[in-house]
């Protein structure tokens, strides 16, 4: 399941973030590349333990916490601290699969990467190329969203960032460990939750059908949760 979520960040937040990134000290993205990625990764990143990265990451996390679609789609247990990257002319990230586990720097906290997320920070007309290409079993999707919008997809899927032809592509990226590890089960729960939310616009919260389906949703989480 690949889901795009709009307006994680508003325009005021985006202007503030971009102004800070414009003055940032970027480092080579290879410094955080795994063994597979080291031969295909060509971009820049904020130093992961820098004060700026931590500050901006907190802004992203606050945006996520206020967005019900994100909670419904991911059922987050752990979120790896958001990171930030920049692709300039000629930069790209070749075909790869994200590492299954990530350790939060300076801690012993491990995050299983069930879901990968890319939050776009500048408008698609500000750069040419740079599409996020996600490969499926039978086809592929190329994604380039408006600033403030985010794409979430299973970390098991191969993906690439196509070369930037001109301009500069800015994004935040991170991983989510879900309470429900199985992608198919999580998709069923998402569809059920969205149906319950839709039903609640037509009936009261104590309507028999709303209560019944809400109970089914909660009981399925109990059965399928890893926690």
Feature table: binding site for 2-oxoglutarate: 169
Contacts of 137 (CB under 8 A, 6+ apart): none
Output the known binding site: 96, 98, 159, 169
The number of residues in the chain equals 227
Instruction: With beta carbons less than 8 A apart as the criterion, state whether 86 and 164 touch.
Output: no
**Helices assigned H by DSSP within the chain:** 11-22, 51-65, 68-74, 183-200, 208-224
Is residue 79 within 8 Å of residue 174, measured between CB atoms? yes
Q: Which residues sit in the known binding site for Fe cation?
A: 96, 98, 159
DSSP letter, residue 198: H
The Cα–Cα gap between 184 and 59 comes to 30
């Amino acid at each position: 399941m690949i889901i795009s979520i709009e307006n994680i960040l508003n325009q005021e937040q985006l202007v503030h973030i971009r102004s800070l990134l414009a003055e940032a000290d970027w480092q080579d993205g290879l410094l955080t590349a795994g063994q597979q990625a080291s031969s295909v990764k060509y971009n820049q990143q904020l130093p992961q333990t820098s004060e700026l990265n931590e500050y901006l990451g907190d802004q992203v996390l606050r945006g996520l916490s206020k967005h019900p679609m994100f909670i419904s789609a991911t059922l987050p247990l752990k979120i790896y601290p958001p990171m930030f990257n920049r692709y300039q002319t000629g930069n790209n990230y070749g075909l790869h699969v994200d590492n299954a586990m990530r350790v939060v720097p300076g801690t012993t906290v491990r995050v299983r990467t069930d879901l990968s997320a890319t939050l776009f920070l500048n408008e698609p007309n500000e750069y040419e190329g740079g599409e996020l290409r996600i490969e499926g079993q039978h086809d592929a999707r190329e994604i380039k969203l408006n600033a403030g919008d985010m794409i979430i997809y299973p970390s098991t899927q191969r993906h690439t960032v196509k070369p930037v032809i001109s301009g500069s592509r800015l994004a935040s990226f991170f991983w989510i460990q879900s309470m429900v590890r199985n992608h198919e089960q999580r998709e069923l729960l998402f569809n059920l939750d969205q149906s319950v939310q839709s039903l609640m616009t037509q009936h009261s919260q104590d309507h028999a059908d709303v209560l019944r389906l809400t109970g089914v949703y909660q009981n399925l989480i109990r059965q399928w949760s890893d926690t």
